[in-house]
Amino acid sequence: MSVEKAATDVALSAQGLRLGYGDLTAVWDVDIDVRPGRTTALLGRNGAGKTTLLSGLIGLLTAKSGTVTLHGKDITRLPPWTRVDRGLAIVREGKRIFRTLTVVENITVGMPKKLSRAGRAEALERIWEDFPVLAERRGQLGGQLSGGQQQMLSIATAVVARPTVLLVDEPSSGLSPLAVDQVLEVIDKLKADGLAILLVEQIVEEVLSGYADDVVLIDQGRVMLREPADRVSVDQITAVMFGTGS
Ligand code: ATP
């Protein structure tokens, strides 16, 4: 992507976004941009405000101040379901699948109600292409899948409605290193299809090993670092994250 296109082509943007819980402010005036065909990694240690920021972007939390725009349109006051209708999707932490439904049933549940029978079949075919591991296990119960496969199923249910922006909260959580790689590969493939991705993670090294294009590091609800991924090192990021100096 040309530098010019990268600068102008923003899918999801927050400007001066302030969020919190009652009187507590957990995210302070954060600016963040997510672009089509790119992965922005949102990094930060426990309690930094990453999940709070995602909640504000999807509309589960109301902005105390600031704006959120999706493809240039202000969505700050819209409820989550309207944001989803407009192309925003979220994979929340913790592999939220139906364990007693099959893989295909889990995916079908996430389909937009307005889809025709042919549209549904087409959407499923696309999922099987993007997630061959799930295609092989389409008749298995969600609860019988491995942790990595459950995470892929979570992602599949989020993308079946063909969003343009995908927010993913700590997909590596509780997974083996091999499963983490497989899940990050799937996310990378979705990015290659043109999705704009905001990836929340704590595993700096893996994310920087070619998966992230842009990095935003937050601490105590404030942006501490914002760089293209190829301009920062793991050491630099951990130094800012843990105040260890480099
Ligand atoms: P983790 O990596 O542990 O998930 P995080 O970066 O996602 O952390 P948040 O969960 O966004 O961090 O938490 C940011 C701050 O907001 C923390 O101080 C946390 O204690 C507080 N917080 C989070 N959820 C709530 C809530 N429901 N009510 C009150 N305070 C909350």
pLDDT for the residue numbered 229 = 95
pLDDT for the residue numbered 7 = 44
- CATH of residue 238's domain is 3.40.50.300
What single string gives the DSSP state of each residue in 140-175? SBGGGS-HHHHHHHHHHHHHTT--SEEEEE-TTTT-
Are 237 and 217 within 8 A, CB to CB? yes
Q: What's the rounded Cα separation, in Å, for the pair 150 and 156?
A: 10
Domain final residue pick, 138, 158, 178? 158
The tokens describing 94, both together, are 């913790």
Q: 108 and 229, same structural domain?
A: no
Q: 82 and 104, same structural domain?
A: no
Q: How many angstroms is it from 20 CA to the middle of ligand 1? A: 9
Q: 206 and 222, same structural domain?
A: yes
Pocket of ligand 1 (CB under 6 A): 21, 24, 26, 44, 46-52, 202
Q: 174 and 77, same structural domain?
A: yes
SS3 of residue 233 by DSSP: coil
Q: 175 and 68, same structural domain?
A: yes
Q: 124 and 34, same structural domain?
A: no
- The count of domains in the chain is 2
Q: 173 and 77, same structural domain?
A: yes
Q: 176 and 117, same structural domain?
A: no
Q: 57 and 154, same structural domain?
A: no
What single string gives the DSSP state of each residue in 37-82? T-EEEEE--TTSSHHHHHHHHHTSS--SEEEEEETTEE-TTS-HHH
Residue of 17, 19, 23, 24 to mutate, ligand 1, most atoms within 8 A of C-beta? 24
Q: How many angstroms is it from 134 CA to the middle of ligand 1? A: 32
Contacts of 59 (CB under 8 A, 6+ apart): 75, 78, 79, 80, 82, 83
Domain final residue pick, 158, 185, 203? 158
pLDDT for the residue numbered 244 = 66
- Atom 16 in ligand 1: residue holding the nearest Cα: 26
What single string gives the DSSP state of each residue in 86-106? TTEEEE-SS----TTSBHHHH
Q: 105 and 176, same structural domain?
A: no
Domain final residue pick, 107, 129, 158? 158
Q: What's the rounded Cα separation, in Å, for the pair 107 and 144?
A: 15
pTM of the model: 0.92
pLDDT for the residue numbered 65 = 97
pLDDT for the residue numbered 245 = 52
Q: How many angstroms is it from 50 CA to the middle of ligand 1? A: 8
Question: Which ligand 1 atom is nearest residue 218's CA?
Answer: 6
Q: What's the rounded Cα separation, in Å, for the pair 36 and 195?
A: 5
pLDDT digit string (tens) for 136-148? Answer: 999 999 999 999 9
Q: How many angstroms is it from 47 CA to the middle of ligand 1? A: 5
Q: 51 and 11, same structural domain?
A: yes
Q: What's the rounded Cα separation, in Å, for the pair 170 and 239?
A: 21
Q: What's the rounded Cα separation, in Å, for the pair 229 and 6?
A: 14
Q: 50 and 103, same structural domain?
A: no
| Domain residue limits at 62 | 3-87+163-242
Q: How many angstroms is it from 24 CA to the middle of ligand 1? A: 10
Give the pLDDT means over successive 10-residue stretches in the chain (246 positions): 56 98 96 97 94 97 97 96 95 89 93 85 93 96 95 95 95 91 94 96 90 96 96 91 68
